Amino acid sequence: MEKIIAGYTVDVTEEGYLTQMNQWNKEIAEAIAKELGIHELTEGHWKVIEFLRKDFAETEKVPTTRRIKNVGNIPTKDLYDLFPDGPVLKAAKIAGISKPVSCV
Amino acid sequence: MPNDDKIKKVSIIISKGSLEGVYPGLILANGARMKGIEANIFFTFFGLDAITKKKMNKIKVATVGNPAMGIPSLIGVMPGMSALASGMMKKQMEQLDIPPIPEFIEMIYDAGGKLYACLASVEMFKLKKEDFCNQVEDVLTVGDFYELSAGGQIIFT
């Protein structure tokens, strides 16, 4: 389905995950973040978002928490502090990639 | 979905000291945190091995008395069988990005999950707080465990 986010028309799933990562931009990220209760995206948030986008583009999979830690060099504690209550779910939505499907 | 239908808190009991006895509880706890659900883990009986410094790295699959393994127990008792099966399973898990137990415990702790040891088992095995990894919050009585589990679901594994 189509949705207008930050003035841009994008394709999203019913849960609001972008289906085409190239329709994403930083304004969209900020608008989704606000919807999820994150009012300001700091440098720390961008580091996570950029890693998720890069890894997703390379592997076609949303990285696990462990991969974000070991490959993305983002400590698990920071991840949870930056995106409370479901960090990978939230970060993936803001990053404009698929909903994570992994159990770990 | 209305908010009241969502699980907000889980307390998971890990009571076995085999690889297949420990992982389900850890995966449930980590998965809860990934969903923003509060998670406590209570380690009891041989489940304590998963948080005991000297043992947490050496947890193996049970190859005897485990019909799901698909090998006769008589073969399962042979030296090295458990290590072999454990090695194979660990390799498989590595591919799925499921961490080894010590790393998993650390990740759950960093994710805000709370880890506790059962007092009765700690006394039975003559263990001390120092025998456990640093991520262990406290040693609790069963009564304490019920108190901290109030308002949530309790899962026994």
| A67: nearest CB among B36, B97, B110 | B97
Amino acid, res. A26: K
The pLDDT score that the predictor gives to residue B11 is: 98
The pLDDT score that the predictor gives to residue B65 is: 83
Could you confirm whether A98 is annotated as catalytic? no
Catalytic residue among A1, A4, A101, A103, which? Answer: A103
* Token pair 């706890």 in the structure block, residue: B29
Q: How far is B76 from chain A (nearest CA, A)?
A: 30
**Which H or E element spans position B85?**
helix B81-95
The pLDDT score that the predictor gives to residue B5 is: 82
Is the pLDDT higher at B76 or at A90? A90
| A104: nearest CB among B35, B36, B96 | B96
* pLDDT exceeds cutoff 70 at B2: no
End-to-end CA, chain A: 29
B34 in contact with A, Cβ within 8 Å: yes
pLDDT per position as a tens digit, B4-15: 689 999 999 999
| A76: nearest CB among B27, B98, B107 | B107
CA atoms of B112 and B9, how far apart (whole Å): 12
Do residues B37 and B8 make contact, with C-beta atoms less than 8 angstroms apart? yes
Q: If you average pLDDT over residues B64-89, what whole number do you get?
A: 86
User: What percent of chain B is modeled with pLDDT above 90?
Assistant: 75
CA atoms of B28 and A3, how far apart (whole Å): 34
DSSP for B87-112?
HHHHHHHHHTTPPPHHHHHHHHHHTT
pLDDT, mean over chain B? 93
User: What ipTM is given for this predicted complex?
Assistant: 0.93
Q: If you average pLDDT over residues B36-59, what whole number do you get?
A: 97
| Confidence band for B1, pLDDT divided at 50, 70 and 90 | very low
How many contacts, defined by CB atoms under 8 Å, are there between A and B?
43
Do residues B96 and B17 make contact, with C-beta atoms less than 8 angstroms apart? no
Q: How far is A16 from chain B (nearest CA, A)?
A: 15
pTM assigned to the model: 0.93
Q: Work out the widest C-alpha separation in chain B, in whole angstroms.
A: 54
pLDDT per position as a tens digit, B140-152: 999 999 999 999 9
Calculate ∠ Cα A61-A65-A69, nearest 5°: 110
Q: If you average pLDDT over residues B81-97, what whole number do you get?
A: 90
What is the strand order of the sheet B153-156 is part of?
Answer: B136-140, B114-118, B38-43, B9-14, B153-156
The answer to whether the Cβ–Cβ distance between B98 and A104 falls below 8 Å is yes
pLDDT per position as a tens digit, A22-76: 999 999 999 999 999 999 999 999 999 999 999 999 999 999 999 999 999 999 9
Q: If you average pLDDT over residues A3-18, what whole number do you get?
A: 97
Q: If you average pLDDT over residues B113-122, what whole number do you get?
A: 98
